[in-house]
Chain A
Amino acid sequence: NAGVTQTPKFRILKIGQSMTLQCTQDMNHNYMYWYRQDPGMGLKLIYYSVGAGITDKGEVPNGYNVSRSTTEDFPLRLELAAPSQTSVYFCASTPGGDIQYFGAGTRLSVL
């Protein structure tokens, strides 16, 4: 049982490039979330999904897009990367909206 798996673990992007952060969970959880964590700033919600085909914006959605075509996968797309998107990105899932299980994170630098 792998839990929540995120890839890649590290990535360096140039300004203006695009990339997709992958997140997959094998726990059959309906709810999935994307957070970003900046130093000393806690976790901020980017997007979330309550089930396949349903997504909604969180606190800081600008510059990002998501899709949820299956229960297992919840990729996060960065279009036109900017230095302000340098952060650590965490994906999380939960069966019923309570306890959140986090992936190991993706450390992204935009230079």
Chain B
Amino acid sequence: GQQVMQIPQYQHVQEGEDFTTYCNSSTTLSNIQWYKQRPGGHPVFLIQLVKSGEVKKQKRLTFQFGEAKKNSSLHITATQTTDVGTYFCAGRAGSYQLTFGKGTKLSVIP
């Protein structure tokens, strides 16, 4: 079945440093989504990428979808304490189902 690998599993950064998480799929995806889950909370949708090579920005967050539509990344510039949480990618390969990566847990040291 479809697998979505996400690295790193954990990342500790000093406030103000940049952060990147990477997502790789075993199959070509029709789209990829990113979610953020705050500690003790539920996943909240951030963005969806559909096109090959697509890049989208949300303030300090930059999302990329690879040319082959099998990988994606989320980059946060100048992290803040409000960025703390677990970031999940989730890929869809043409079905009704999303396959989630295991997530990257971000800790920000003030």
Contact of B88 among A31, A43, A99 (CB under 8 A): A43
For the complex, give the distance between the alpha carbons of A103 and B100 in Å: 17
**Known A99-B45, A103-B42: A42·B1 in contact at CB below 8 Å:** no
**Known A45-B97, A48-B96, A50-B96: A90·B102 in contact at CB below 8 Å:** no
Whether A105 is near chain B, meaning CB under 8 Å from some CB there, is yes
Closest to B2 in A: A59
Binary flags per residue of A29-49, CB closer than 8 Å to B gives 1, else 0:
001010100001111110010
Contact of A90 among B6, B43, B96 (CB under 8 A): B43
Q: Are the CB atoms of A100 and B42 closer together than 8 Å?
A: no
Listed by A's residue number, 26 A-B pairs whose Cβ atoms lie within 8 Å are A33-B97, A35-B100, A41-B102, A42-B88, A42-B100, A42-B101, A42-B102, A45-B97, A45-B99, A48-B97, A50-B96, A58-B97, A59-B1, A90-B42, A92-B43, A98-B31, A98-B33, A98-B48, A98-B92, A99-B48, A100-B33, A100-B43, A100-B45, A100-B98, A102-B43, A102-B44
